[in-house]
Amino acid sequence: MRKLILVLFCISAVISCTTTGKSETAIEEDRLYVTRKYIGDFEDFRHTAPASFGDPHLIWIKTTQDSTFGKLSAYSKDCDFNAGDRLYLRRKYVTPGVFGYWMYQIENDSSVFYRLSEFQNDKKVLVQSWY
């Protein structure tokens, strides 16, 4: 009787540890947790003043991967990135109340970061589509 229970236990342990069908879902789940993505080295920026009172100041950041991402628009008057800084796109989930939303920012390896606007400059692509 004990041998039968031991054999059944071993068989159930082997069956529960198999990875059949889990490889597809593991990739999808991992994609949800990516919060920082390399987008190139900093090259230059350009400032755009507000068109009317109450509109935000924007800076357009150019990276070495400009052909892939285009110029990125961020809320600021000035840019403290240095030429050659490695820039990353970071995604944060913000919950100011009951419901939350994703906020996107551009940052370097130090502590300099800027919140990105919703669209990229020239291709009108949503920032969230890069994840």
* Contact indicator for 119, 78 with CB cutoff of 8 Å: no
User: Do both 93 and 40 map to the same domain?
Assistant: yes
User: Do both 20 and 40 map to the same domain?
Assistant: no
Domain that holds residue 119: 36-130
User: Do both 19 and 50 map to the same domain?
Assistant: no
* Contact indicator for 78, 49 with CB cutoff of 8 Å: no
Which pLDDT does position 21 carry in this prediction?
53
User: Do both 54 and 77 map to the same domain?
Assistant: yes
Average pLDDT over residues 4-30: 61
User: Do both 21 and 42 map to the same domain?
Assistant: no
pLDDT tens string 51-104 = 889 888 999 988 898 776 678 888 999 999 999 899 998 888 888 888 888 888
User: Do both 78 and 96 map to the same domain?
Assistant: yes
pLDDT tens string 19-45 = 555 555 544 555 556 678 898 899 999
Q: Report how many domains make up the chain.
A: 2
Is 61 buried (19+), middle (13-18) or exposed (0-12) by CB count in 10 A?
buried
Structure tokens, 10: 């071993």
User: Do both 28 and 80 map to the same domain?
Assistant: no
